[in-house]
Structure 1
Amino acid sequence: MHEILSGMALVFNAEVLLVVLASAVFGVFVGAVPGLTATLAVALLVPVTFHMDAIPAIAAIVTSSAMAIFSGDIPGVYLNIPGTPSSAAYVSDAYKLNKQGKSRQTLGVMLTCSVIGGLVGATMLMLVAPTLAEFALNFSSFEYFWLAVLGLSCAAFIASGSLAKSLLSMMLGLFVSTIGLDIITGTPRFTFDVPDLLAGVNFIPVMIGFFAISEVMFLYRNLDRTNTMTTMQRETGAVFTGVGGIIRKYWHGLTRGSTIGLVTGVLPGAGADVAAWIAYGISKRRSKQPEKFGTGHIEGIVDAGSANNTSVISAYVPALVFGIPGDSITAIVIGVLYVKGINPGPTIFSGESALVYGLFTIFFIANLVLLPVGYLAIRLAYVLNRVSIRVLMPIILCFCIVGAFAINNTVMDLWIMLVAGMVGYIMISAGIPLAPAILGLVLGNTLESSFMSSMLKANGNLLDFVARPLSATLASLVVLIFVFPLLLRWIKRYRKVASTTHLTAQKSHH
């Protein structure tokens, strides 16, 4: 109880609450503008948080991401353009409901589901994370090695696109993590005699480049399609009229979506967009009226909307407990915590318990603030969606340049940001996902240091990596992740062959 009260005391002060409010407004604005994502909102906030304490810095990131995930639904409803990738799953239904004159009611349902899902995720995080942390205290370097491999494996297989492209992205991130001095011998690696690279590639300029600069490049390329929207109509009416009845009618979908969000969020690399697609697909499969999906049906929106914000919060479970990011947003959070001198992992729950409970409090506050701020965003949606991309892009570019330079006051960070932006642009153009690269960059040092430490302990004996029960279990999970897709493919092929054989036998019999 003392830790909880200490954590709440860190949060309930004027500075943190002002940061939460400002971040909420910023997140709503970024999410409501088509093409600007929740990850971009967080990346733009990183330079601002650099000079804050840990609690307000994380408060800014948590609040802005939760707001952006919801407000990404606004252009989807009015313009049939997903504001964020997580809105794409149900954008067709949302837009057709708008055509039926139910846009504000639809956004009211989305807002309510987002708040409920976020509160469910925060509750489960507070209940599950400390228990997992106690269990994780038994981990040695062997377990951390397998845990890092497990995180990278999940990221590679869960990320959208082909397996080969996901693995290529992951390997790129791992390569970048090796730049600098070797952790054992102190030998420079891939520095090309540039002194600024001896300490390694700075995490934050890479994030800004990957998610902000590449986004600016894409928005400029597609300027005609993403410019000011002039066809949006004003609408009058209450926001929450009929929302209670819809929630009561589809309460099982709300529960199912929140559960899917919890499970998906914990998986490294999945993220809110994957959770939304899974929840929408399962909702359609389990629905009594699957033929109505895609024609303006609210049921799938309830499922996917609750899964969105639940997965955003539950992604913090692996990030805080094991130091493994659940998605690209928590990857940025881990980087910010490292900058603050705080190492995510099981020891944070014992050494920084007040900080942890302060973070838990922020998750609840962020989702509660979402309700009034989201309501105002719905009322002001007409204004938000008329902001010109031509005006926003130069402002965002200035934020990127100033933010990347302000980290260490070196021009090298600007070059890193620009190179990362161009690489991110090329990767997205080629259909290569960015998430595995980010996870490779974040987990690369953990993977290398735990592997080298384990090899020194084992005197080069690789069998010691599976000698402990915990490490053997984690190694089995890694193998299962690689074998499971192959097993599913074999089962499908076997069933197809068996079905073909059965039909052939029936024809020959007749």
Structure 2
Amino acid sequence: MVLTQALGLVLTPQVILTMIASGAFGLFLGAMPGLTATMATALLVPITFFMEPVPAIAAIVTAAAMAIFAGDLPAALLRIPGTPASAAYTEDAWRMTRSGRAADALGALLVFSAIGGILGTLVLILASPALAEVALKFSSFEYFWLVVMGLSCAIFVSPGSALKSMLSLVVGLTAATVGFDNPAGQPRFTFGNVDMMAGIPFICAMIGLFANAEVFRAIIHPTRLTRAERADTSRIFARQWHNIRCYPRQMLRGSALGTVIGALPGAGADIAAWISYAISKRFSRTPGKFGTGHVEGLIEAGSSNNAAVSGAWIPALVFGIPGDSITAIVIGVLYIKGMNPGPTVFLMQPQLIYALFFVFLLANLIMLPLGWAAIKLGGRLLSVPQNYLMPVIMLSCIVGSFAITNSLFGVWVMLAFGVIGFAMEECDVPIAPAILGLVLGPMLEKNFITSMIKADGNLLAFFERPIAAALGVMAIAFWLLPLIRAILNRRKAGAT
């Protein structure tokens, strides 16, 4: 009876048309550098005031899901990740496009984003209370080790020298220290600039490191794209059934990990995508192909990315605790619409909760046709001559950076990091670890300082809680095992 009522609330022309319109809106904003899924959600909130509860939530859910996927489009076509999570697999996606396999890369990102979202929704439906209970057991100690694992992934998954990857990570972590320090609240590395007291806006830095650096590279090293490098998007779904049969473990593992990490308040899709990509490389039969244009990492990290979006709703619905910035906005909308998130909503308004679950499933299904259309349109980008394309990209970078800070400070940050990114690329230093350092640096410092205050300076407290101890051992093993393996290999070589 409740399921029938929920389906009746969702399968109406108003809800379907609202989801299609908001999905197109989310795709557009997500594909623009600097215009994030959070911004798409925030811009929709005033419109939802004039809607019924189900269409209002459907609009936000669909726009957020589409915007997360849309961040992969510029990553694959232009080597410009739309989100920090996309940076984890930008190199593979872009190299596949360069080798004439844009359809395979974009098709895998689309299909497995949808599958990850659907599997994450099923977990949301079946195991919300259990996962929410686990999420509430995470304190600053557990979050510290989770962030350490995420930062470790940036070093070991980047192609090339691990030393250069560590240097890139240090650049990001150093930039993350700008602003008020924790916990004293003293300005740090601001040089008397009021704008810098809030820290380096990482979206502006990401636009600079990837997009602006690419513009500088096109100016200094002009090249003409060959036919193989042009984006052929004629057969997007051709190899996806083959990928599902070849990589079912990666698909399920990425979806499961993304849902669990997404359920942790404040963790989100960024950590999920990076850890999933690292796990995919670690357990792959062909780890050497990662970073050279290999679809395996795209499948696992892409599934994890969207599954984390669904997972973030678990603490939001069960306890009213936002899992990320998007669900923080949505909780406010739920209260306005009379749906008070928490345990009682499952008892008082079960039809609305099940309607929300159906909206999640429908949003991920709608992603397939809308994503196909977006890929078709986006594929024409590479047929545009560079002397026309690069100024448009530069203009988008300026607009996106200004929109983040609502001041020229964001534009100057973008330009400065564009120079830094270009210099790093010229020296073969990977850019992606710097992005992760910028994103996770403040979280690392905050949780470390908070934990040290709780433990009164006792470092052993980081291993006293069971979950923290397990994560700590995993993080340390992540660092030590490659060193131990290298020492053993050197001894074997010396013995022979």
TM range (shorter): 0.5 to 0.7
> What is the CA-CA distance between 1:138 and the residue it aligns to?
0.9
Instruction: Determine which of 85, 91, 103 is the counterpart of 1:85.
Output: 91
8 Å contact from structure 2 (residues 256, 304) kept in 1: yes
Measure, in 2, the Cα distance between the counterparts of 1:441 and 1:283. Answer: 26
Letter in 2 for 1:126: T
How large is the RMSD of aligned CA atoms in angstroms?
Answer: 5.2
Instruction: Determine which of 45, 49, 63 is the counterpart of 2:40.
Output: 49
Measure, in 1, the Cα distance between the counterparts of 2:284 and 2:95. Answer: 7
SS across alignment from 2:159: coil
Question: Are 2:66 and 1:63 equivalent residues in the alignment?
Answer: yes
The answer for the alignment partner of 1:121 in structure 2 is: 116
Q: 1:490 to 1:365 in 2, by over 3 A?
A: farther
Q: Which moved more, 1:191-200 or 1:43-52?
A: 43-52
> What is the CA-CA distance between 1:71 and the residue it aligns to?
9.2
Measure, in 1, the Cα distance between the counterparts of 2:178 and 2:156. Answer: 25
Instruction: Determine which of 12, 18, 21 is the counterpart of 1:18.
Output: 21
SS across alignment from 1:198: helix
Measure, in 2, the Cα distance between the counterparts of 1:489 and 1:416. Answer: 40
In the comparison of the two structures, how many residue pairs are matched?
434
> What is the CA-CA distance between 1:478 and the residue it aligns to?
1.4
SS across alignment from 1:224: coil
TM-score normalised to the size of structure 1? 0.65
Measure, in 1, the Cα distance between the counterparts of 2:437 and 2:231. Answer: 45
Q: What pairs up with 1:473-488 in 2 under 5 angstroms?
A: 473-488=470-485
The answer for the alignment partner of 1:418 in structure 2 is: 415
> What is the CA-CA distance between 1:281 and the residue it aligns to?
5.8
The answer for the alignment partner of 1:434 in structure 2 is: 431
Q: 1:464 to 1:404 in 2, by over 3 A?
A: same
SS across alignment from 2:468: helix
Q: 1:308 to 1:479 in 2, by over 3 A?
A: closer
> What is the CA-CA distance between 1:406 and the residue it aligns to?
3.1
Q: 1:21 to 1:146 in 2, by over 3 A?
A: same
Q: 1:308 to 1:467 in 2, by over 3 A?
A: closer
Letter in 1 for 2:461: D
8 Å contact from structure 1 (residues 136, 321) kept in 2: no
Measure, in 1, the Cα distance between the counterparts of 2:456 and 2:375. Answer: 62
Q: What pairs up with 1:135-174 in 2 under 5 angstroms?
A: 135-174=134-173
Measure, in 1, the Cα distance between the counterparts of 2:342 and 2:426. Answer: 44
Q: 1:364 to 1:490 in 2, by over 3 A?
A: farther
Letter in 1 for 2:113: G
Q: 1:314 to 1:271 in 2, by over 3 A?
A: farther
> What is the CA-CA distance between 1:391 and the residue it aligns to?
1.7
The answer for the alignment partner of 1:405 in structure 2 is: 402
TM-score normalised to the size of structure 2? 0.67
> What is the CA-CA distance between 1:403 and the residue it aligns to?
2.6
Measure, in 2, the Cα distance between the counterparts of 1:154 and 1:234. Answer: 32
Question: What are the ranges of 5 or more consecutive residues in structure 1 without an aligned counterpart?
Answer: 31-40, 76-82, 96-105, 286-293, 295-299, 323-332, 343-348, 501-510
Question: What are the ranges of 5 or more consecutive residues in structure 2 without an aligned counterpart?
Answer: 46-56, 79-88, 262-270, 316-322, 333-340, 347-351
Question: Percent identity, aligned pairs only?
Answer: 31
Q: 1:57 to 1:157 in 2, by over 3 A?
A: farther
Measure, in 2, the Cα distance between the counterparts of 1:231 and 1:432. Answer: 23
Measure, in 1, the Cα distance between the counterparts of 2:494 and 2:137. Answer: 47
Letter in 2 for 1:431: D
The answer for the alignment partner of 1:469 in structure 2 is: 466
Measure, in 2, the Cα distance between the counterparts of 1:43 and 1:383. Answer: 21
Q: 1:145 to 1:430 in 2, by over 3 A?
A: same
8 Å contact from structure 1 (residues 204, 404) kept in 2: yes
> What is the CA-CA distance between 1:483 and the residue it aligns to?
1.0
Measure, in 2, the Cα distance between the counterparts of 1:42 and 1:53. Answer: 19
8 Å contact from structure 2 (residues 117, 309) kept in 1: no
Question: C-alpha offsets along residues 449-500 of structure 1, whole Å, 9 cap, x if unaligned?
Answer: 22222222222222222222222222111110111112332444455567x4
The answer for the alignment partner of 1:456 in structure 2 is: 453
8 Å contact from structure 2 (residues 277, 300) kept in 1: no
Question: C-alpha offsets along residues 262-284 of structure 1, whole Å, 9 cap, x if unaligned?
Answer: 58977756489879988996599
Q: 1:214 to 1:366 in 2, by over 3 A?
A: farther
